[in-house]
Structure 1
Amino acid sequence: MAEPTIDAGAGPVALRTSPLAHLEARMRAAAVTGARGVRLAEWPFITMVNLRVAPDSEAADRIEKTLGAPLPRQCGQTAVSGSHTLLWLGPDEWLVVSPAGGTSVAAELREALAGDPGSAVDVSANRTTLELSGAAARQVLEKGCPLDLHPRAFGPGRAVSTTVGPVAVLLWQVDEAPTYRLFPRSSFADYLARWLIDAMSEYRAPALP
Structure 2
Amino acid sequence: MAETGVAALRRSPLAHLTEAMRAAAVTGARGVALAERPFLTMVNLRVAPGSAAAGRVEKVLGVPLPRACGDTATDGSRTAVWLGPDEWLVVSPASSGEGTAGIAQALGGAPGSVVDVSAHRTTLELSGPSARQVLEKGCPLDLHPRVFGPGRAVSTTVGPVGVLLWQVDDAPTYRLLARSSFADHLARRLIDAMGEFGGPEVP
TM-score (norm 1): 0.91
Q: Alpha-carbon deviation of 1:106? A: 1.2
Gaps in structure 1 of 5+ consecutive residues:
none
Structure 1 residue 102: Cα displacement: 3.4
Greater than 2 Å deviation, 4+ residue runs: 3-7, 101-105
3-state SS of paired residue (2:10): strand
Partner of 1:185: 179
Instruction: Find the counterpart in structure 2 of residue 84 from structure 1.
Output: 78
2: CA distance, partners of 1:5 / 1:95? 30
2:190 paired residue number: 196
Match in the other structure for 2:91: 97
> What is the number of equivalent residue pairs in this alignment?
198
- Secondary structure of the residue that 2:142 maps to in structure 1? coil
Q: Counterpart amino acid of 1:137?
A: A
Distance in structure 2 (CA, Å) of the matches to 1:62 and 1:157: 24
CA RMSD in angstroms comes to 1.5
| Displacement after TM superposition at 1:108 (Å) | 1.0
* Matched letter for residue 150 of structure 1: H
* Structure 1 segment 1-209 matched on structure 2, within 5 A: 4=3, 6=5, 14-204=8-198
Shift of 1:4: 4.4
CA distance in 2, matches of 1:101, 1:131: 18
Q: Is the 8 A contact 2:41 2:98 kept in 1?
A: no
Q: 2: distance between equivalents of 1:4 and 1:130?
A: 24
- Distance in 2 (CA, whole Å) between partners of 1:98 and 1:152 is 28
Identity percentage of aligned residues: 74
Q: CA deviation at 1:57?
A: 1.1
Q: Distance in 2 between matches of 1:162 and 1:91?
A: 17
So what's the TM-score if we normalise by structure 2? 0.94
Shift of 1:6: 3.8
